[in-house]
Amino acid sequence: MDFSRTDFPPGFLFGAATSSYQIEGHGVGGAGSTHWDDFAATPGNVVRGESGRRACDHYQRYEEDLDLAAAMGLDAYRFSTSWARVLPEGRGTPNPEGLDFYDRLVDAMLARGLKPFATLYHWELPSPLADLGGWRNRDIAGWFADFTAVIMERIGDRVHAAAPINEPWCVAWLSHFLGLHAPGLRDIRAAARAMHHVGLAHGRAIQAMRAMGMTNLGCVTNHEFAAPVDDTAEAAAAAELYDGIYNRWFLGGIRNGEYPADVLAGLGRHLPEGWQNDMATISEPVDWLGLNYYTRKLIAPGQSGLWGDLREHVGDLPQTTMGWEIFPEGLYHFLTRVQADYARGLPIYVTENGMSADAPVHGAQQADPDRIAYLESHLGQVRRAVAEGADVRGYFIWSLLDNYEWALGYDKRFGLIHVDFETLERTPKASYDALKSALSRS
Ligand code: FCB
């Protein structure tokens, strides 16, 4: 790879990211059922009906995985804690095995010199809470704050940084309006409530962690560059609204204590009554901002004429196996925009960036030149933003391992390390070696 550490500010952290349900194996260790298990068990939702039941069996192989992360020369590791592993019923009695697991996991990171970046929720809502309405139910903010206290009482003294919720847009919009992730709803009222409650839960979790004396607390939002599909005014308006829902809603709430007016115009009447009173909690001060970035979309208005009917088109840039266009300039765009509009002195991390590429011939090391090029070009855009004053402090690659890619199952491979899902054997890819030599270069 065409960089060395000296191309980045002193102390810049290089890391890899994973999430609990995607790698641990939810069938072991006493984890409770999650809405992802239910969603995956419903025909038509997930490719081949695959679930996170076994995944990478990281629950039992975490030491080997962290050995590989450390041997690459990484400084930090971003992981998530499964609510259903810690509290199988979502509330009430904790699962001691679950708490012990995260305790061991954090110690294993520290023993290898990896800074633990914890995310409390990366999408595996306990089924009993889904039964109560999940993200549609305002009570989720309290349930989540309680879960936060339980897990952080165990590991909060040793994590380097913590963020409550991974990608609020996916939790709310993708899952309750577009219906593509659990719980698979397509309902504007459900979506509006989820869009609000996810922020409220974030704020309550921040308060819970502050009350425990924790520091270095942040948020992790995802961003997609939205460009109009053509030069009509309708397409421009559609792209602007897409940008509002996707890129401005959550940071507007969390950082500025207000939602963007263009999104409120459509969503406002579906929000819970008195939502304005929650904005102070939602905008509880944080210490850093994490951005996840992968791609751009070309946006067109839908045919229905209904608010929020937006169509995504794929342009003619090279694509990953997800069908996502590779558009590194988008990362620069969001880093500079967040620096200008939301950071106000807070450091920024790229908490996810990476690409899916095809699997190797069985047993052989995968030459993944496309991933190497993707990472180089996006790191180039990070440098460009830093040179222009963006206070970017770290970059996490999605992902350490090939894993369960949600509704697309196991054949979308994002890992620096190949996983054979039959034997569970791990094999570092060429990108792993390239990153390792770049990080060791002086
Ligand atoms: C992000 C998710 C992560 C993974 C990548 C490809 O939106 O946070 O779990 O699925 O996309």
How many structural domains comprise the chain?
A: 1
Specify if 4 maps to a domain.
no
Of the listed 167, 224, 325, 405, which one is catalytic?
167
Read off the pLDDT of residues 295-312 as tens digits, 9 standing for 90 and up: 999 999 999 999 999 999
Read off the pLDDT of residues 164-179 as tens digits, 9 standing for 90 and up: 999 999 999 999 999 9
- Ligand 1 centroid – CA 101 distance (Å): 23
**Any catalytic annotation for residue 388?**
no
- In ligand 1, which atom is closest to the CA atom of 123? 9
Compute CA distances 149 → 153, 164, 430, whole Å: 6, 11, 40
Read off the pLDDT of residues 241-298 as tens digits, 9 standing for 90 and up: 999 999 999 999 999 999 999 999 999 999 999 999 999 999 999 999 999 999 999 9
Specify if 3 maps to a domain.
no
Cα(318)–Cα(341) distance, integer angstroms: 30
Specify if 388 maps to a domain.
yes
Reported as type and span, the H/E element at residue 30 is none
Q: Residue length, the chain?
A: 442
Q: Is the CB of 405 under 6 A from ligand 1?
A: yes
Q: Is the CB of 406 under 6 A from ligand 1?
A: yes
Distance of CA 100 to the CA centre of its chain: 24
Read off the pLDDT of residues 345-380 as tens digits, 9 standing for 90 and up: 999 999 999 999 996 665 567 899 999 999 999 999
Residue 135 has pLDDT above 80, yes or no: yes
What mean pLDDT comes out for the span 377-396?
Answer: 98
Read off the pLDDT of residues 413-424 as tens digits, 9 standing for 90 and up: 999 999 999 999
Token duo for residue 164: 């409550």
Q: Supply the pLDDT for residue 366.
A: 83
Cα(229)–Cα(314) distance, integer angstroms: 9
Residue 218 has pLDDT above 60, yes or no: yes
Specify if 143 maps to a domain.
yes
Q: Is the CB of 414 under 6 A from ligand 1?
A: yes
Domain that holds residue 263: 16-440
- Ligand 1 centroid – CA 171 distance (Å): 11
What mean pLDDT comes out for the span 17-39?
Answer: 98
Q: Supply the pLDDT for residue 357.
A: 96
Q: Supply the pLDDT for residue 363.
A: 56
Return phi, psi of residue 396, to 5°: -110, 130
Specify if 10 maps to a domain.
no
Specify if 1 maps to a domain.
no
Q: What is the mean pLDDT of the chain?
A: 97
CATH classification at residue 394: 3.20.20.80
**Any catalytic annotation for residue 64?**
no
Cβ contacts of 141 within 8 Å, gap of 6 or more: 197, 200, 201, 203, 204, 281
Read off the pLDDT of residues 49-107 as tens digits, 9 standing for 90 and up: 999 999 999 999 999 999 999 999 999 999 999 999 999 999 999 999 999 999 999 99
DSSP-derived letter for residue 356 is -
Please name which of 222, 237, 152, 145 lies closest in space to residue 181, comparing C-alpha atoms: 222
Q: Supply the pLDDT for residue 360.
A: 60
Q: Supply the pLDDT for residue 364.
A: 66
Cα(25)–Cα(51) distance, integer angstroms: 9
| % of the chain surpassing 90 pLDDT | 97
Return phi, psi of residue 168, to 5°: -50, -35
Read off the pLDDT of residues 315-346 as tens digits, 9 standing for 90 and up: 999 999 999 999 999 999 999 999 999 999 99
- Ligand 1 centroid – CA 276 distance (Å): 30
Specify if 117 maps to a domain.
yes
Specify if 97 maps to a domain.
yes
